[in-house]
Structure 1
Amino acid sequence: RHTPLSADLGLPGVHKFTAIGLLDGKPFDRFDTDNPRKTPTTSWARQHLTTEYLDKGTQSRLSKQQWFGVNLGVVMTRMGHSASDGDVHVLQWLHGCYGETNPSEERLRFVRGVDKYAYDGDDLMSFDYVTLRWSAATEAAKPIADKWNGVTVLTEYTNGYLRDDQRELRERAIVPDVYVFARKTRGPILTLVCMASGFSTNTPAMTLMRNGRVLSTDDGLEVFDILPNNDDTFQRRIAVDILQSDKGNFTCSVLEEDTGYHATKHWRLEDRKTLRAVAWSNTDLLWPYCCFRQWCFVHCCFVPVVVVCIIRKRRTGQIANQTDLVHTIDCYCILFSAT
């Protein structure tokens, strides 16, 4: 998210120019006028973002800072505003993409892109990735949209930038994991545990099923609190006690609505050579991935972005009769808004 202001307010934490990288709505790097360097703000970003990547990002944001400083003035003039009117104005740019992949594909598949500008909180103009055209949301922005549509190289670059570049960012991300395993507790009783870890938010919902029926606390299902990991992600688990003779099919399902991540894993005792086993999946795996691309109208700079997803855990304390689990991972990528 890039946000230039028309004037310095002189308030703590409020800068004339700020750029923040977001993944799943959470900041992972920052750049501003007081600290003009792309700086990781989470442990996973500090671990996975290379010095070369950060240096390139710093140069890109320095260029954007200069570009927005000039063009905010241009937009203000078109909107009938001036620096002398005593008001503070802001120009924002949102630029990102949605992508997905599965085990049968080596590369991330582009789903759709987002590229739009706003002025003082209202839509200004946006890019359509189907028609490859800029459209103005206000009369004042029409001359700008017409001018940009007249530059074929610019529209092709805007489209191709999101589709083809920076796929290596997915490998830098922390990928959520879901596990299902059983352990001996007492006598003929096993504790079946579904554990999810690596989520960027603390909102995942988990369910455990036996033969398609969702287990509840009435079945002895135990739900544990969400806990933080040491990499700025979260984990959670649920568990239930079952008999060693239980031949049911168990399914653990994890859903994180904030990111669209959905994973389902199966477990069945007779398929396990040992009592402690990690569950397997039986469906395509879709990983959320956000790639963000940024270009300057003049400089054509870009800033790569990284991706992360999250999951949870829980547990139980009674003997349950449940079945079948389904495994799917379904993620959507979060935008990196730049202005």
Structure 2
Amino acid sequence: PLPVPSLKLGLLLALPVPLPVPPNLFVPQVPHPLLVLRTMPKASGCPGIPQFMSIGYLDGIPFTRYNSERGRVEPLTGWIKDGVDQEYWDRNTQIGVHNQQLAARSLDTLRDRYNQSGGLHTFLQVAGCDLLSDGSVHGSRRDGYDGRDFIYFDLESKRFVAADSAAEVTRRRWEHGNVAEDYTYYLGHVCPEWLQKYVRYGQKELDRKEPPDVHVSGKEEYGMLTFSCHAYGFYPKTIAVNWMKGDEIRDQETEWGGVVPNSDGTFHTWARIEARPEEREQYRCRVEHPGMLEPGIFAWEPKSGVNLTVVVALSVIAAIIIVAALIGFIVWRHQSGNSRGREGARIHLALLWESRATDAGLTVFPQGRTVLDTAWQLVSIGGGSSSGSLLCRSRERSWVNPGV
């Protein structure tokens, strides 16, 4: 991904949980943000799980990838593959190998500092820059450990903020050195320079406009009607989705989902609102996007009777679940001799999903992603070759940062 100098990398600030805000076309758009994420899943004994991964994002879309199994930086889009020469891939592969070595040592440091010997530990690093329309640059490095904030560096303030006493050790050591100067140079010069190059390479792809496919649904429960407005398959990610009652936009009553990337380079999002059943005719979903000639107004159209397609689909899903349950039971019986290890895998998987449910939103990254959400996406994108190692992925994923 982005060429990164060999320096000690920053970690994540403990931020208060912000209230959800709607995507809004009227907020000045940040053109083409560049983001780099690094992770080191420590999953010994799990085939297909890389020991280190690094992924570059432009406009929220992954375009380069390095992982320790493949051992090289690889293109994820056609425009980066065609835009750079072999020297670029060789140089960034060397950087990836070097960062992998530093990451392994940093993981040991953090586990010792927190008096940990094993178990489920996660560490995610996010580094990125935005080149604004007025020529100014915004950049930051953020890292979280075990789903919580650790330390954060902001380019504008040029200072580190530690989230706890363990991170305070790192902050004091870095502030006595020249780490802030290294960060400032990287985020203020190296990152924006490569951001401009990447935008030139992918200009045609990045300037395309794909309008959203909008679907409105409703569900009545406990005497209230919940409307959901989903927008699918749009690009760029700038979009405004608002619920209206009559001619009035009801942002205070609306819940928004993040603008999330799809595997095909587009995005999806949603907005939800509750209403009284007798007022259902008054609610409309308003969607505005650069790919639309004008804002669209969409209403819920409840279908009468039973939809045969839905019935068939539910029947197929039920059959799949039954078959999967039978297969799972057979595998469980077959592996009954290793019950202790299997129990550990099940427990860690449950803990992971519990963490995702309870911690979502604690640490908000650019593009509205959380630490654990982004980590989960990284594992799926990062090149693991075996979809059957889900338990191994969930059991020991550790995100490592060099030089802590």
TM-score (norm 2): 0.42
Name the structure with the higher helix share: 2
Structure 1 or 2, whichever has the larger Rg, is 1
TM-score using structure 1 length? 0.50
